[in-house]
Chains A and B, each alone.
Chain A
Amino acid sequence: MTVESTAARTPRRSASTKSTAGKRTTAKKGTGAAQGTDPQLVQLLTPEGKRVKNAEYDTYVAGITPEELRGLYRDMVLTRRFDAEATSLQRQGELGLWASLLGQEAAQIGSGRALRDDDYVFPTYREHGVAWCRGVDPTNLLGMFRGVNNGGWDPNGNNFHLYTIVIGSQTLHATGYAMGVAKDGADSAVIAYFGDGASSQGDVAESFTFSAVYNAPVVFFCQNNQWAISEPTEKQTRVPLYQRAQGYGFPGVRVDGNDVLACLAVTKWALERARAGEGPTLVEAYTYRMGAHTTSDDPTRYRGDEERLAWEAKDPILRLRRYLEASNHADEGFFAELEAESEALGRRVREAVRAMPDPDHFAIFENVYADGHALVDEERAQFAAYQASFADAEGV
């Protein structure tokens, strides 16, 4: 009943959306290799910062203003600054762990800025740039890495779900949420972020199945940063990841994940498909994790410098800067101001983290159940009595 009504629903914004059905074939020609350059890679800005034409996706960024371009640049720079600050705070012992997004700014800002406020985001644990786009205060992201909480923000406050550590789980939540959106007849979309490694998980395969069967308005945004800790993408797949979508019956597209403009355009396209009732899309943002997997990782054990250097040449921030400069969309003053803003952000983050109090001991027993539970009450009371016994001992 409800199931059929989901699958059979009509486009919810057909009037305002050009139909893209059939425009893109689900089977993009690939190289057959999981890595390497792909002729089908959607790119709007070359690494040298040259704007290149793309018949299919140009329309999605056609009206972009110089101010918006500067905005994308600012987002990327501030996100990188925040990330660098968090990395050094970890080194200083202020955070237990940090998962850096270095190198993935364009994928995250491009896709993040394609979203509407009423869209819903299901991140993994590295989506600091997407969080930034959603207006989540970056200091809120640090609580779980500092070890003071297991989340740190209200997912409904910014339509940005909590970070998910178990690989792939959130793709099913996103699909279910999107099924709910469709049942409600709303015209918002849902986006799920995950990595190339996660693409091997059963949950991700199941989310593809469910979203296709129920035509759920969800965009699967896979950041293929080439590595799942020490394992290269070939250890997860023998076909380019975006081609997987074909087997499930929805389109997949590979976008240059270091090209913020292309990520913006492709994600907009995919979101519009979702809004128009055309179902899921898989976007594979082809990018690179420039740093370690997390601060606990040692990438020198499994990869050489050459690869990193090659990717540094494709740096997403540098690329947009070159374009902004060449097209006279930004002047020295803009860059200088942004530099100062970056510094201020770094300071704010540093101070906020150092000022972050340890949680109250009784937090262990908070929110275990929504309704309360006799056993938790009993254990909390025992814990209180036990704590008090120390106070008594110290007090006398």
Chain B
Amino acid sequence: MAAEKMALAKAINESLRRALESDPKVLIMGEDVGKLGGVFRVTDGLQKDFGESRVIDTPLAESGIVGTAIGLALRGYRPVVEIQFDGFVFPAYDQIVTQLAKMHARSLGKVKLPVVVRIPYGGGIGAVEHHSESPEALFAHVAGLKIVSPSNASDAYWMMQQAIQSDDPVIFFEPKRRYWDKGEVNTEAIPGPLHSARVVREGTDLTLAAYGPMVKTCLEVAAAAAEEGKSLEVLDLRSVSPLDFDAIQASVEKTRRLVVVHEAPVFFGSGAEIAARITERCFYHLEAPVLRVGGYHAPYPPARLEEEYLPGLDRVLDAVDRALAY
């Protein structure tokens, strides 16, 4: 049987293993990815089986990691690099934004940069600062990058396969607090396109749109709302750039209400883009303004306050009530 239950982190591990096996040009690079298997053990056992020239422990230098991955990609390799935590991608931000994102266009399409940048992101694990951030909007604003985030083990497995096969650079945001959640993975399935959203729960009264760690939260919200007789549809966006506006539009035309949920600060966040476009596309269908639930315009707080900061069941339900009250 090809279907197996595994944790999300394990699914990524299995996906990386498959990529290393099937394409000798695939490389894994990053801090502590070798013997330690990464601080989250996502690359566990890969160096043992594929050797130090395929699974490369790098110096502690993010700009160096991404910059050399670009060079390797120019030489025909397909590097998959790990940034240890969300807040540590910024030393590499220059390389990602000024080089990785733009080289294809600058070379008039001659150069392809199939680089995957894996970033464990988001909060909820009680960490110290710079270990809990959601910087996806900072990358989504940059043309040339694809930004994706799986919410479950199966997507983690398949989206990683597709990200590695993509000839464009992909920023692969991994929902670290869902790493240990188990789900069914069918390693022989034929996956849908990387950039399509998916309805993960059908409903008629309102659409909740989310990606990554917030999908599970939204499913919990929908279950809680169902007990109060409200029927919520949950959309797993899966990709932030590009965004599957057709899928959101289809759902909103049915439910007529939309609440977008993400951990990142609401201000200038991906929810803002979704709200603006959906308002434009669905103006005559909407019964309520598109509402957003997310982080505040404040630094990610210390661990003992993160429950207040992160969108939880109550805060999302509150927004649902407000949208339904229009």
Contacts and interface: CB of A to CB of B under 8 A. Distances in A.
Interface of A: 96-97, 143-150, 165-168, 197-198, 200-203, 228-231, 235-237, 296-298, 301-302, 358-359, 361, 363-365, 368, 373, 375-376, 379, 383, 386, 389-390
Contacts of A297: 39
A200 B60 contact: yes
B298 interface: yes
B297 A147 contact: no
Q: Which of B127, B297, B298, B308 has the most CB of A within 10 A?
A: B298
Interface residues of B, number: 40
A264 B9 CA distance: 46
Contact of B304 (A147, A236, A373): A147
B39 A301 contact: no
Nearest to A301: B36
A375 B36 contact: no
Contacts of B31: 228-229, 231
Given A96-B126, A229-B36, A368-B297, A202 B315 contact: no
A359 B130 contact: no
Given A203-B91, A236-B59, A147 B126 contact: yes
Nearest to B60: A197
B180 interface: no
Given A203-B91, A379-B297, A301 B37 contact: yes
A365 B298 contact: yes
A359 B90 CA distance: 28
Contacts of B309: 364
B325 interface: no
Interface string B306-323: 001100001100100000
A236 B318 CA distance: 50
Given A165-B130, A166-B88, A148 B297 contact: no
Contacts of A200: 59-61, 64
A359 B297 contact: no
Contacts of B37: 301
B128 interface: yes
A150 B299 contact: yes
B35 A201 contact: no
A276 B314 CA distance: 61
Interface in B24-49: 31-32, 34-37, 39
Classify the interface of chain B: helix, strand, loop or mixed: loop
Contact of A202 (B35, B64, B303): B64
A148 B304 contact: yes
A24 to B, nearest CB: 28
A200 B88 CA distance: 14
Contacts of A361: 305, 308
A148 B301 CA distance: 9
A379 B296 contact: yes
A201 B305 contact: no
23 contacts: A144-B128, A147-B128, A150-B301, A165-B87, A166-B91, A200-B59, A201-B61, A202-B63, A228-B60, A231-B31, A231-B59, A231-B60, A235-B57, A236-B59, A296-B39, A301-B36, A361-B305, A364-B298, A364-B305, A373-B297, A386-B315, A386-B318, A390-B314
A64 to B, nearest CB: 36
A303 B161 CA distance: 33
A151 B88 CA distance: 18
Contact of A383 (B36, B127, B296, B299): B296
Contacts of A201: 60-62, 91
Contacts of B283: none
Nearest to A365: B298
Nearest to B302: A147
A235 B296 CA distance: 39
Contacts of A145: 128
B273 interface: no
B130 A166 contact: yes
Interface of B: 31-32, 34-37, 39, 57-64, 87-88, 90-91, 126-131, 267, 296-299, 301-305, 308-309, 314-315, 318
Contacts of A359: 301-302, 304-305
Contacts of A302: 35-36
A365 B34 CA distance: 40
Q: Which of B126, B302, B318 has the most CB of A within 10 A?
A: B302
A376 B302 contact: no
A373 B265 CA distance: 15
Contact of B129 (A165, A229, A231): A165
A365 B296 contact: yes
Given A166-B90, A228-B31, 5 more contacts: A229-B32, A229-B36, A230-B57, A236-B59, A365-B298
A206 to B, nearest CB: 11
Contacts of B88: 166-167
A200 B314 CA distance: 44
Nearest to A374: B297
B113 to A, nearest CB: 21
Contacts of B127: 96-97
A274 B186 CA distance: 63
A363 B299 CA distance: 11
Contacts of B315: 386
Contacts of B34: 230-231
B298 A146 contact: no
A165 to B, nearest CB: 5
A358 B302 CA distance: 10
Nearest to B266: A379
A320 to B, nearest CB: 31
B296 A96 contact: no
Contact of B303 (A96, A198, A229): A96
Given A386-B315, A386-B318, A148 B302 contact: yes
B114 to A, nearest CB: 25
A231 B318 contact: no
Contacts of B60: 167, 197-198, 200-201, 228, 231, 236
